[in-house]
Structure 1
Amino acid sequence: MTSTDSRTARFPFPFPRDQYRYSTNVEPAGNPTDTVAGSWGDTRIAIDDHYHRELAERERILTADPSRHQCLPHMVPAAWDAMLTLMRTLAAEYPDTMTLERRANTWFWRNDLLGIEHSFVFGDLTTLPAPPLVYICGQIQEDVVLLDQREGALWGDAGLVTFAADWSFGFDVGMSFLEIHGPVPRIHTEKIITRAHNFLMRLEPRQSYRRTNWTLTVDGKLDTSTETYPEWGKDRRTLADGPLAEVGDRLFLRTEVQHLIRLAHSGAVMFLIRTYLLPLRDVASVPEWGARLYKVLEDLPVDMAEYKGISRTREPGMRWLAAHGDVEL
C-alpha cells in the first residue's frame, strides 16, 4: 500500500448520507469506524506518517506567532491536567514508543519517536522546558482547546491552536462556548448549539466522545486561520479562476475529528482537534466518496457554504468531480 493509499484508508470521511446539515453527531471515542476504503478512530490520539512534518509545521507557526498558545491564569492547573492526560493516553495507545512512569513526586516521560526522555514534577513549571500545553502539543498532531466550566456555562480559556480552519483562537479565548459559535448559521435557531452545550456540561470525568466537522481547503494548507488570511485568502480565487484540470490536486476535503474529554483533576473539558486533508483526486479514487461529496456540495444551503468559506470552491469542485468521479448527473 502506498502512502497515498494509506492516507485514504485512514481518512475519516465525514458524510454518512448524501445530505449534510449541522448536528451534534457525537459518539463514544476509541472505537474504530469502518469505511469503504478502510478504518479510522481506533485511538483518541492519531499518529501517522505526517507526524514529524506536522510537528515541524506547528513549531514554525508558533515561533512566528506565539499568540496561538493562550492560557488564562486560572487555567494553569487545567493545562497541567491536560498534559498528563495526553501523556497517559499516548502511553496507553502507543506503548511501543511512549512511556509514562511515576516515582514518588517525579514523573518520567519518554517519546521514542522524537528522542525525548524527560522527568518533571507535576505543577512545577521549572521542571518543564515549555508551558504544559506547548510541551505536549509539540508531540501530538492535534490542536487543543480547554473549556472551563463555571457560572452555568463553558468558557474557552486555554489552548494551543495552529491549524485553525478560518477562525482565530487568539480572538476567541475568554469567550463562552455559545459566543464562540455565535456566527455559525442555523445552529442557534435549531437549538443544536444549546444541545451540544448541555451535553458537554454533563460530561463525567474521563468520559470521551468524538464528532467530525469538515470544509474544503486549497493546496492542502493546515493553517488557514484568520491571522494568516492574507497568505491563503487568494487561493480560493486562483482555484476558481484556474484550469479545471488542477482542481483534483489543489482542492482538498478537510475533515476535523474532534475529541471531547472531561479532565478528571481540573474538571475542564478538553477538545482535541485533529485535521485530515485528502485531495479530491484521492476522494474520487473511492467511487462512493466522490459521488457522495458531489451530492453533499450540490445540496448544501448557501448560508452554510458561505460560513464554511467554500462559496468560490464548491462549484469548481463539483465540476471536477462530475468529470472525474463516479457521479450520475
Structure 2
Amino acid sequence: MSIKHVTVCGGGVLGSQIAFQTAFHGVDVRVYDISQEALVKTKAALELLPHRYQHDLHATAEQAEAVLGRIMFFTDLREAVKGAQLVIEAIPEVMDIKTAFYRELAGVADTDTIFATNTSTLLPSQMMEATGRPAQFLALHFANPVWIHNTAEIMPTPKTAPQVFDQIVAFARKIGMVALPLHKEQRGYIINTLSVPLLMAALKLVVEDVTDPHTVDKTWMIATRAPTGPFASLDVIGLTTAYNISKAAGDRGNEVNIAIARYLKEHYLDQGKLGVASGEGFYKYPDPAYLDEDFLKALPGFQGAEVSSESSGLSREQPRCRSL
C-alpha cells in the first residue's frame, strides 16, 4: 500500500523539513505541534524552503510554491492524525517526553497507522511499548538539511513487522530519499555513530579550555579540506539538540557529557543562543565568520603559507552535511 497521508508531529528544524520534503513529492501532510506559537515558527521556516528548493534542486517556482498548499497545521492531536497512514514523530530528544507523547498518540490514532520516530540517538525499542503497537513502530531518521542530504535511515526494533519495515523503505524512496536500511538497532544509526563522537570531541576541547570553537573549526577545515567545522555543524543542528544529547549521556554517568551539557546551557541556551535558528550560536548569522574569506588565512606575523578557499579547495558555503 502506497502511503499518501502523513502527519509530522513536531514542527521544529527537522520536522518542518520532513513535512516540506514529503509534500514536495505529492503526499498530503499534516503538521502537529503543541501551540499556535510553535506553528507560527514552523510556517515561517516552511516559507523559506521554496527558494531553497529552487536554488539547490532547480525546482520550478510553481513546483516549490505548490508544496505549501499540501500542508495543513493542527494543535489538536486527534484531528492531526485522523486518517494518517504514517505518523512521523520529530519532538525533543528526551525519553520522558517521547514516551508520554506516544501514550497519548496511541489513544487517538487509527489502529492501522504506522508510527516512526526520527530520534537521533535513542533506541526505538526504548519507547516501542508506549506506542501500543510495537509491530507497527520503527525509526525513520533524516539528515539535516533534508533536501540536500537526502538520506533516510530505517531502523526496526526487534518487534517491527517485516512488512512495515519494507513499507517504510518504499515510502522513503517515494519522497526522494536514499533509503539506508539497518538490520538491527544501533544507537545513532550510521550517520550519527560516525558524527556524534566528532562533535562531542570538539565540545570537549572547548569545555576543558584546550582551545576555542573557531580554532577547532579552522583546524578541522584545513586538515580535512571540509567546507565547515564541527561548531558550524552544531549551529545548524541546533544547540538544544546538542544539549539534550549531552545531557542524556551525562544522565548515564558520563562526566564529560555532564560538563558539556552544563556549558551549553549556561553559555548558550540560557542566553537565547540556539544556533542558526536564533541568529546566533557559536557564530552570528546570517554572515558567520567561517564564510569570511580571511577565516582560514594565517595570523599576522605567522610565516607559514596562507590558506584560502581557492588554494584549499574548500567551498565557502553554508554547512550542508549535518544530521542529528
Could you say which structure has the higher strand fraction?
1
- Larger relative contact order (CA 8 Å, sep ≥ 6): 1
Please report the TM-score for the alignment, with normalisation by the length of structure 2.
Answer: 0.26
Please report the TM-score for the alignment, with normalisation by the length of structure 1.
Answer: 0.26
